[in-house]
């Protein structure tokens, strides 16, 4: 059988299902097309998506383990940042906001007893 320059789908459908009655032929053609599409398109896409989900799950697990280690070390060594460092970070972050300066209000509440920090 010589394949003409017709579409590949016409060739597949006519060569594979010659001589079948209408209902049986249509059902088989649809089944054949579904199998072909499933194995060439859907299955590889699903495999890629499964691998992507696996990689993201591993990333989440590593992040949780890392954060757990950091929390344990902070609690173990009872590390607390110095108060003036926290204030500098907060005020510095507020100063670098890209918001119109006439529309922003920064309120700093100080409950420390250190006179150097209060100034």
The stretch 60-66 carries a mean pLDDT of 97
Task: Sketch the domain layout of the chain as residue ranges.
Answer: 1-68, 81-119
Assess whether pLDDT exceeds 60 at residue 81.
Answer: yes
Residue 35 has pLDDT above 70, yes or no: yes
Distance of CA 59 to CAs 43, 48, 72, 101, Å?
Answer: 24, 17, 20, 39
What's residue 89's pLDDT? 79
Mean pLDDT to the nearest integer, 61-87: 85
CA–CA separation, 64 vs 36, rounded Å?
A: 42
Please compute, for residue 78, the number of CA atoms within 13 A of its CA located in the half-sphere on the CB side: 0
Question: What pLDDT is recorded for position 45?
Answer: 93
Task: Write down the pLDDT at residue 98.
Answer: 80
User: Which pair of structure tokens corresponds to residue 68?
Assistant: 């757990």
Question: What number of residues does the chain have?
Answer: 119
Q: Over pLDDT 90: what percentage of the chain?
A: 26
């Amino acid at each position: 059988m010589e394949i003409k320059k017709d579409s590949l789908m016409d060739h597949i459908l006519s060569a594979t299902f010659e001589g079948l009655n209408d209902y049986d032929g249509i059902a088989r053609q649809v089944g054949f097309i579904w199998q072909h599409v499933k194995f060439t398109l859907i299955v590889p896409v699903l495999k890629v998506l499964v691998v992507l989900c696996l990689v993201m799950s591993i990333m989440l697990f590593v992040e949780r383990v890392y954060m757990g280690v950091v929390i344990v070390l902070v609690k173990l060594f009872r590390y607390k940042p110095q108060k003036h460092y926290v204030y500098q970070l907060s005020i510095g972050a507020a100063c670098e906001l890209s918001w119109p300066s006439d529309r922003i209000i920064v309120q700093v509440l100080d409950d420390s007893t250190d006179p150097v920090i209060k100034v």
